[in-house]
Chain A
Amino acid sequence: MSESTLSARLQERFAAHAPTIVEALGETTMEIPAGAVTEVMTALRDEDGFEFKQMIDLCGVDYAAYGQVEWETETVSGSGFSRGREAGVDGKVAKNERRFAVVYHLLSVTRNERMRVKAFLPDDAFPLIASVVDIWPTANWFEREAFDLFGILFDGHPDLRRILTDYGFVGHPFRKDFPLTGHVEVRYDEAKGRVVYQPVSIEPRVLVPRVIRHDSRYGAIPVGVDGTTGGDANG
């Protein structure tokens, strides 16, 4: 069967949306503008040559701290190592222009093919994208999850409620500026005779600092946040 590859077919069909198509590690990723989601996804599901009838997964990603480290490995030769510190996220995205992305994993049972679709959301402060519930009913809970954990809003979702966090939870815990310890803890109050919320009493700390080191066997040298190349090869 002399059929063109999936990425070639995607490139041809969706040229109008100027997608970025990457083949890496045996997986095909197509990055599309957030506005084109409904149109592209419908085509991917229904058209011959794609037939992605199943949406395996949908998730949000927060790129706010991408490439940031808690322990500098390159510039410290003169000053000595500092203690690891929790990387601060100041809301500005260092490397990526846009903060939030929604990632879809699609599967075609008939063609036995997988692909990944990625859409960056244009507005960091008000992350909004069209819902795909009408295309794949599975998306319902996945979108609720992405809303709950990242605060991504899905336009047209019939029932966008929180799903995993507690009733009355405040904030979106998987955002990079949300501390690992959270903001509140619960305990039973003897005097009041009920469970109460209070600010967390433990301090966030770093056990193993996050570092980025260059390993010569991995090929291209990754570029650090400040534009310099990564640390030494002594991994």
Chain B
Amino acid sequence: MAEIQNMTLNFGPQHPAAHGVLRLVLEMEGEVIMRADPHIGLLHRGTEKLAESKPYNQSIGYMDRLDYVSMMCNEHAYVMAVERLAGVEVPLRAQYIRVMFDEVTRILNHLLWIGAHALDIGAMTMFLYAFREREDLMDCYEAVSGARLHATYYRPGGVYRDLPDVMPKYKASKWRSEAEVKKLNANREGSMLDFLDDFCARFPACVDEYETLLTDNRIWKQRTVNIGVVDPDRAVALGFTGPMIRGSGIAWDLRKKQPYEVYDRMDFDIPVGVNGDCYDRYLVRMEEMRQSNRIIKQCVDWLRVNAGPVMPEGSKVAPPSRTDMKGDMEALIHHFKLFTEGYCLPQGEAYAAVEHPKGEFGIYMISDGANKPYRVKIRAPGFVHISALDEMVRGHMLADVVSVIGTQDLVFGEVDR
């Protein structure tokens, strides 16, 4: 009889369930995975090296392109690192705006995650449901920054500009009648805060809808329960953060444990899992969407009644007002220098981390006193999580690889940087 050997299977880099360009070399015995060797780097763009060749503010846009489904959270870590080195105080209103958009981003991320994850393991409808709500939130991105994805909205010192008074509206066309457009625009007549308020009111019902489709769904449970189990000690040792560590039962969340901006003023809960399997991580993320919704609501209420600056006044990192620029020579020079050479930061090093939708996203920045960072290191949560992929899929079936990739919420923009 012929000797039976393990089979090596190439998964990706162009595979719809690989969430981007992941190449997995799987060693199989029958349909059981003996070893998984992820080959990453197919989307490596050298973001860290590029940042070394640009003034500080010009790299903010690159941060959007790291994890391209949670753009503003990436920017947040970057501007926090710059602020820490420069010693800039962020105005309170800007802090609230940042927290609000961090949570909008978290919902955006989790919606895409649930859509793609469910699609991968057989629940097509989720994708359509999730994108319905994503559309509304991306309109908020558009209203505030002009771009639906790569916002480049945060700045060291605050945010680019204050919240807009109008929302983008649908227009009548060949495909959409006046009456239809009027209905679509019904909640877009007021300011962006009115629109978000309306969103907060209806979003919990949407999450209920998703849960109706999945939480007690027999097929969903067969595909996720007891798949990719990680016990709490192992999750810590493997460097897990975010929903991955909370799914294993450790209540670790930077928003609570090491609060930044105004998270210490927010009232919200941290969901944790029990078994550390894909199903628990699913439940954690679903609950996080509800909690994010609560935070957004609190921010909206605060922002409605508290006006104020969104950039520090008279700071070197903030541009002068247009009126000052027209009449004041110093302001004109400042404007010119800021947008050409940028600003120099004092020598030193800082590590700033935020609770990104995927885990701890950190920026380690070294400055030698120049107008460009000397070294920027991006600590991407996805990179750490995928390094544990081998351990999580060993002994599982081939089809479970897709569940595990989904549960890790991988986006290759940040894994490969």
Binding site for B on A (CB under 8 A): 24-27, 29, 53-57, 59, 61-62, 65-67, 69, 103, 105, 109, 112, 114, 116, 136-138, 140-141, 145, 162-166, 173-174, 180, 206-215, 218-219, 222, 230, 234-235
The reply to whether A56 and B239 contact each other, CB–CB distance below 8 Å, is yes
Selected contact of B236 from candidates A25, A109, A162, A230, CB within 8 Å = A109
Measured between beta carbons, the chain A residues less than 8 angstroms from B350 are 25, 27
Known interface pairs A105-B364, A140-B387, A173-B49. Does A59 touch B377 (Cβ–Cβ under 8 Å)?
yes
A99 CA to B296 CA, complexed, in Å: 47
Question: What 4 pairs between A and B have smallest CB-CB spacing?
Answer: A138-B239, A164-B41, A141-B387, A218-B346
A141 CA to B239 CA, complexed, in Å: 11
Find the A residue at minimum CB distance from B55. A208
A173 CA to B186 CA, complexed, in Å: 53
Find the B residue at minimum CB distance from A222. B369
Inter-chain pairs besides A56-B239, A57-B364, 14 sampled, C-beta below 8 Å: A27-B349, A27-B350, A62-B375, A116-B349, A136-B237, A164-B41, A164-B416, A207-B54, A208-B371, A214-B369, A215-B344, A215-B346, A222-B347, A230-B369
- Pick 5 A–B contacts, CB within 8 A, sort by A: A105-B351, A164-B44, A174-B48, A180-B49, A180-B53
Find the B residue at minimum CB distance from A107. B360
Selected contact of A165 from candidates B44, B342, B362, CB within 8 Å = B44
Cβ proximity bits B237-274 to A, threshold 8 Å, 1 near / 0 not: 11101000000001010000110000000000000000
The reply to whether A138 and B372 contact each other, CB–CB distance below 8 Å, is no
The reply to whether B351 and A27 contact each other, CB–CB distance below 8 Å, is yes
Known interface pairs A57-B362, A57-B379, A164-B416. Does A136 touch B239 (Cβ–Cβ under 8 Å)?
yes
Measured between beta carbons, the chain B residues less than 8 angstroms from A59 are 364, 377
A164 CA to B47 CA, complexed, in Å: 12
A184 CA to B264 CA, complexed, in Å: 50
Measured between beta carbons, the chain A residues less than 8 angstroms from B388 are 137
The reply to whether B316 and A173 contact each other, CB–CB distance below 8 Å, is no
Known interface pairs A59-B377, A164-B41. Does A105 touch B416 (Cβ–Cβ under 8 Å)?
no
Whether B366 sits at the interface, judged by CB under 8 Å, is yes
Measured between beta carbons, the chain B residues less than 8 angstroms from A27 are 349-351
A56 CA to B351 CA, complexed, in Å: 11
- Distance in Å: Cβ of A226 to nearest Cβ of chain B: 14
Whether B24 sits at the interface, judged by CB under 8 Å, is no
A136 CA to B50 CA, complexed, in Å: 30
Measured between beta carbons, the chain A residues less than 8 angstroms from B416 are 164
- Distance in Å: Cβ of B8 to nearest Cβ of chain A: 16
Whether B46 sits at the interface, judged by CB under 8 Å, is yes
A59 CA to B378 CA, complexed, in Å: 9
The reply to whether B387 and A212 contact each other, CB–CB distance below 8 Å, is no
Known interface pairs A67-B369, A140-B387. Does A211 touch B344 (Cβ–Cβ under 8 Å)?
yes
Whether B340 sits at the interface, judged by CB under 8 Å, is yes
Measured between beta carbons, the chain B residues less than 8 angstroms from A24 are 348-349
- Distance in Å: Cβ of A160 to nearest Cβ of chain B: 14
Find the B residue at minimum CB distance from A66. B368
A67 CA to B347 CA, complexed, in Å: 9
- Distance in Å: Cβ of B415 to nearest Cβ of chain A: 9
- Distance in Å: Cβ of A142 to nearest Cβ of chain B: 8
Measured between beta carbons, the chain B residues less than 8 angstroms from A66 are 368, 374
Cβ proximity bits B371-405 to A, threshold 8 Å, 1 near / 0 not: 11011010100011001100000000000000000
Measured between beta carbons, the chain B residues less than 8 angstroms from A219 are 346
The reply to whether B41 and A163 contact each other, CB–CB distance below 8 Å, is yes
Measured between beta carbons, the chain B residues less than 8 angstroms from A61 are 366, 375
A202 CA to B316 CA, complexed, in Å: 35
Measured between beta carbons, the chain B residues less than 8 angstroms from A145 are 383
Measured between beta carbons, the chain A residues less than 8 angstroms from B377 are 57, 59, 103
Selected contact of B341 from candidates A26, A65, A208, A218, CB within 8 Å = A208
